[in-house]
Structure 1
Amino acid sequence: MPSGASPSKAEQLLQQLRDTYVLELPSRIDAIENAILNLRETEDFEAQFQDLYRDVHSMKGTAGTHGLQVFTPILHLLEDLLSSRLARATHIEAENLELALACVDLLREARVCVAANESDFAAIEMRIQALGRRLSAGALRVLLVDNSRTSRRLCMQVLHALNAEVTTASDGYAALARLLHEPFDLLVTGSEIGTLSGDALIAALRLSRSINRDIRTILLTSRHGAPTVETEPDHVIARDARLVQNLSDYVGRLQPVAAAASD
């Protein structure tokens, strides 16, 4: 919109919807907190868990729609906690309850900043990084990006066998959004991952000021020839019969490094 110009009716409507959403955030956050606390004593853990996961996922999507990106990495962390530690559980352990409630505290802190029209979220981002490290508990934190479900499943089996904490994405832009705000030790990406290629994803990461700027990167590719100089992945693995072995060998060597970094 040009400087000095009045907002259009559509822009006014979008702003009204955003303002309403911000006003409703306290009750939404309270509802998520209550659902987490109810996991301690519910007789139908699975149903309560599924409802909670849907609410978290819905809140994440709506926050993104309204341009409230500060909430996205917090809700990603809560989703990751739910999917990695509670999806097959029958109760919530004290440590996981504490971590989930820490995510709720971050949501409340972010809401206060948004309601006050603040734009500096550096303190919140530092707490997100610290919470991400607690969630990984010293394991190698891997972001796996591939738009092939079969390939993702194969790579996840390798990474889980190495006790890595794995987060997945099927699109390069979604992966970059997470890399800019959440801590990882390793990026494993396919070369063709939607509108943003694996080469471009690695290049964008290296040019960013993200905490992940210097993490190790692996490019999975079926192409012949070396990647571009701008990309500079740390390791290239061909999609061939030796993919599983080569991925296991390389990531296995990184495990001691991750453990030392978390101490």
Structure 2
Amino acid sequence: MQFDLESALLRLKQDFIEGSLEKLDDIDTIIDNIYNDRGDRGEQFFQLQRDVHSIKGSAGTHGMHLLTLVAHRLEDFIEAAPRLKQEQWRSVQIYIDELRTLVDMGKDPSAHEREQILARLPHAQDTATEFTNQKSKKVTVLVVMPPGVQRKVIGKELASCGFDLSFTDRPVEAIRLVMDLQPDAVLANQEFRNMTGSELGRVLREIKLTEQTPFALLTSSDGHENDLPPGSHIIKKGESFVSDLTEYLVEIGLFGKL
């Protein structure tokens, strides 16, 4: 009996679609429970994160790249406001509804539909504690840094200023995110396992779509000036880090876009 690879792949994709729809149904129940203060909030919240991460991790395998990106953006939204208020759970529901639409579609939408879907997604600016009464343009900042205290501090500071945030701890993924999101700035740690922040900066300068994206290296050590492409910036970690970061964002005009 001859093995039919195409049929096998279609079955795997259908299994993924059915499994994802079940996860999204479960997430609907979780959101309703948390919104109405039912059950163990912490455990339900972690289950939601696990299910979203599972969908994100498998979608690309089946050619559903926008599904991966929307799931990633939901993770960004949650990280930017880890203690979601009741009204912000309605924003999470918008993400889940868009994920369900994409899963049902079973493939990537057209470029026009893609832009419409991304434009509908709530972002970190909606969770900000400042500038909330101001009509503003979305300003996206990509933070390339391992999870931890420093990333939380930076995320909190940037979210409080009304920026739309995206996070990753993998420079290779950052390249894809810069191309997909076209952020207004990239802030990257120096030390990673497979690619340094300096190398990431050089790669972004070599890609036509990303060559003009402002790039800043976040580091506590010296000697990286010659490793970075022209136009890059270094922000030293230390006592004046937050003020230096703010000064850099002002310098490249991000506050002027708010």
Which TM class, normalised by the smaller chain length? 0.7 to 0.9
Taking the TM superposition and a 5 Å limit, the aligned residue runs for 1:127-138 are 127-129=117-119, 131=121, 134-137=123-126
Distance 2:171 2:3 in 1: 33
Corresponding position of 1:201: 200
Counterpart of 1:49, as a letter, is: F
Distance 1:61 1:153 in 2: 25
Distance 2:93 2:155 in 1: 28
Whether 1:44 and 2:40 are equivalent positions in the alignment is yes
Q: Please, which moves more after superposition, 163-172 or 48-57?
A: 163-172
Distance 2:242 2:202 in 1: 21
Counterpart of 1:81, as a letter, is: F
- Paired residues, number: 241
- Unaligned 5+ segments in structure 1 are 1-6
Counterpart of 2:23, as a letter, is: R
Contact 1:73 1:128 survives alignment (8 Å): no
Q: Identity of paired residues, percent?
A: 22
Tell me how far 1:203 sits from its aligned partner: 3.5
Corresponding position of 2:23: 28
Corresponding position of 1:124: 114
Counterpart of 2:77, as a letter, is: L
User: TM-score normalised to the size of structure 2?
Assistant: 0.73
Corresponding position of 2:132: none
Corresponding position of 1:142: 141
- Unaligned 5+ segments in structure 2 are 127-135
Which of 86, 95, 106 is the matching residue for 1:93?
Answer: 86
Tell me how far 1:234 sits from its aligned partner: 2.8
Distance 2:170 2:101 in 1: 29
Contact 2:80 2:156 survives alignment (8 Å): no
Distance 2:112 2:180 in 1: 10
Taking the TM superposition and a 5 Å limit, the aligned residue runs for 1:97-176 are 97-114=89-106, 117=107, 120-129=110-119, 131=121, 134-137=123-126, 141-147=140-146, 153-154=149-150, 156-157=152-153, 160-161=156-157, 163-164=160-161, 167-176=166-175
User: TM-score normalised to the size of structure 1?
Assistant: 0.71
Counterpart of 1:201, as a letter, is: L
Tell me how far 1:78 sits from its aligned partner: 1.6
Counterpart of 1:93, as a letter, is: Q
Whether 1:68 and 2:57 are equivalent positions in the alignment is no
Deviations 1:62-93 (A, max 9, x none): 224444321112111222233333x435xx42
Distance 1:158 1:75 in 2: 22
Cα 1:161/1:112, change in 2 over 3 Å: closer
